[in-house]
Chain A
């Protein structure tokens, strides 16, 4: 495999992990969203790396579709955050725990 592909795969792994870290650690939902975006991008990177490696367009098409998905997701996510925000002024994920067992 070409070094460029290998390196980008490694990079994608690291980025994905940092994205997850952001999601798990941070309490501000917006940051969590950014973490998710980052994870998505890492995945895109991996796809494109493989597309390059296998010389097929499939990887890129999927990456493209992922972007659309990501956009949709962000729209909904932020709308929820806005409604939470309007309801209780500050936005702290841990405060919103009324839906528990």
Chain B
């Protein structure tokens, strides 16, 4: 067995993980649309194979502090572009989340999708290919390529299999992201012009002088902020989610949003530390607005999917808060990374659950439901656990991320930290009211009375998610021990700057004076 692991460990694992779904998609193109059954199961087994192979990433041993499983082949030598991929503590869990959620979203759309199944599963596999590529590419050109290639399948998924105003939503989604990534392309070219290479490892060790960083940082910021989404750029999310098919919105919520967060940690903090420190207070402010605003807007929603989408805005606000809370410990950033993974799982599960009743009742209006608890008890329990994880109840995965983020944020800027903590209360408000309106009370409507409870297939793709929620909530040590070294390494540059520079004096010192007039400088909690 360990021979197999050894062989797997030094095989080009990452390339296999990236290109297997692509191969699957190509094979499906050859299959005839009539045999939808075989297409569905082939797509499913292809994604399961990818997931199993991706598990070997863990078996390879060796810490994930530096990039491991690196593969580098020259691709366009003239302009210094190389096919350079690698995975470290930050991107490992996101890759595994991608390969884990792909089979689940495929399985969940077996009964949901009736028309044009062949193209549908091809696009889903392409999504897997593009997403994995984005998370592992270490060459800015390659990264941008994958970043854009995610848009095409998603656009088609929303545009064709969506509901209601799907074309409007799809176009809006693409336009938003393209505008953002346009500026990012400019910045990437700017970097290339300055350094002559797209290679991230090289760029990371040669930091631009501070005055040059600002504009490039803002370009990257815009692209990632739209993707996260941060407060002013979030309106595309609600439309894209409400109109996307179930599997589409699962991938959209669980992974596409993480591309923004991952981008911030990987590229913004590493390549533009001074600009990040300069912009940190503003971004934290926006993050807190996202949290509070997202929660408040959620409370007024009547459409279930729109509510969950806006809750993602609030949760991703936490992630942004965590990423940009600089205070000589990396707790915030580690919390943000684990929160990205756990939010992916929780919101993915929530969308799957909404998909379940959408398949049965073909409506997402909360008012249409009521008293489902008595009709679908198993569904009620599953929804309860997922909802509580989303609220951030301790012993479930939401709490781990949020607690670390708030801890870090509080150190960076106690006022914003305190305000963000109030977001925890608001989260409970809108989720519980939604939960009551959907589940509690008498089951009056006749259509609701004859709803069937979860079937085996739905159980198969929901139970693993719930188990993951409990695992991360109760024993996150294996996850954190992988993330921590990698985040420290990425954030070291920013830490040095933030602790040394004036900015720290403004934000950190404000926290210090407010907290304790005579705090001994080396406060025990300090050394990150």
Chain A in direct contact with chain B (Cβ < 8 angstroms) = no
B-to-A contact residues, CB < 8 Å: none
Interface residues of A (CB under 8 A from B): none
